[in-house]
Structure 1
């Protein structure tokens, strides 16, 4: 299995999970916040992966890479920050929505008692 195939599967799962969480909660995270977060994470990934690869902390087998690099970081490394941007805000929104509903239920029960 190539790193690109693994990254694609990982991104598909994150996109599906993020979409399902957004549908269930009927809320979407703010697009501007997602864009800024993605930009920051991609920039940090480019810088720190390049530093870690240059210092010899890890390396990739070139046989399994697509061949596109940003700095020294292979393009496949950027799937993980993108997946985080897709999945984590939707998960956060879903958990927050669940907590809000629970708190409203508790307040209703306390008010009727």
Structure 2
């Protein structure tokens, strides 16, 4: 799995990050799993065509004791398996990494 990992985060800051993720409505059905909405304008052609059946699209963020891992696989919430499920393009990857970095920076957490 391709992913973006941020580690060596203090327990206090991890708690703040998880609380803010939950407040934003990103909490998934499992502990320490969050669904980060994927911007509709960044979807590829196939994902846009499948949006009604497979969307909305998201990336999965997993948190641990002192780390966060953003999986760089664009998933649809409507279906688990489809040809539209794919790894981020370089542009999509950069935008989502920037999103996570900004999210953490706005909490004034040094990383």
The TM-score, its normalising length taken from structure 2, stands at 0.33
Structure that is richer in strand per residue: 2
Would you tell me which structure has more helix in proportion to its own residues? Answer: 1
Asked which structure has the greater RCO (Cα within 8 Å, sep 6+), the reply is 1
